[in-house]
Amino acid sequence: MYTININPAPVCTIINYLKGGKVRWRIAMVGKPKLNFAAEAAKLYLKRLRRWTSIEIISTRPGRPETESKELARLTEGWYRILLDEKGQQVTSLKFSQMLQNWEVYGLDKISLLIGGADGHTDELYKKADWVWSLSKLTIQHELAFIVVLEQVYRAYTIMRETPYHRE
């Protein structure tokens, strides 16, 4: 007699595989990382994430908030938009992993993360967002937010795949 242990992560992976793909990510941000440690950390997490997903990083030039927000909206048209802002909803890493798992199960295959510039996002971009996510009540410099987001996406996948990275 064979016992099949079916937990949510493999089922989610199988469903996503059967529908012909996996979640693709697009991080649209204002400005490019200039801090050396941020660029190195980005390389590390992007390399680690390759086994589970693809992530495209697109940066736009800093400018007026209206111009920045319009460009971020243009770059993420047709994608599920997650706007990063300190006034958004805070979730634990475990909850974010569960949300990602649900998105995969329901066939969401294009998710974008929008990181604004120094002056934040416009009201128009807030209205176009599918979810507003707060990494912290603190205001976080965009390069640091970029690294935290990459790490949290990586952590979410490790939780879903039950790899020994996340600890409770």
Structure tokens belonging to residue 29:
């941000």
Share above pLDDT 90 across residues of the chain, in percent, rounded to a whole number: 77
Among 18-22, 49-53, 93-97, whose mean pLDDT is lowest?
A: 18-22
Residue 14 confidence (pLDDT) above 70: no
Residue 13 confidence (pLDDT) above 70: no
Residue 6 confidence (pLDDT) above 80: no
Residue 69 confidence (pLDDT) above 50: yes
Structure tokens belonging to residue 26:
């697009």
The beta strand positions in the chain, using DSSP E, are 24-30, 54-60, 80-89, 110-115, 131-133
Instruction: Give the torsion sign (CA, 154, 156, 160, 164).
Output: positive
Confidence tier at 32 by pLDDT (50, 70, 90) = confident
Residue 145 confidence (pLDDT) above 80: yes
Domains and CATH numbers, the chain: 17-141+149-160 (3.40.1280.10)
Residue partners of 110: CB distance under 8 A and separation at least 6: 23, 24, 26, 78, 79, 80
Confidence tier at 9 by pLDDT (50, 70, 90) = very low
pTM of the model: 0.85
Looking at residue 33, its pLDDT comes to 84
CA Rg value for the chain: 16
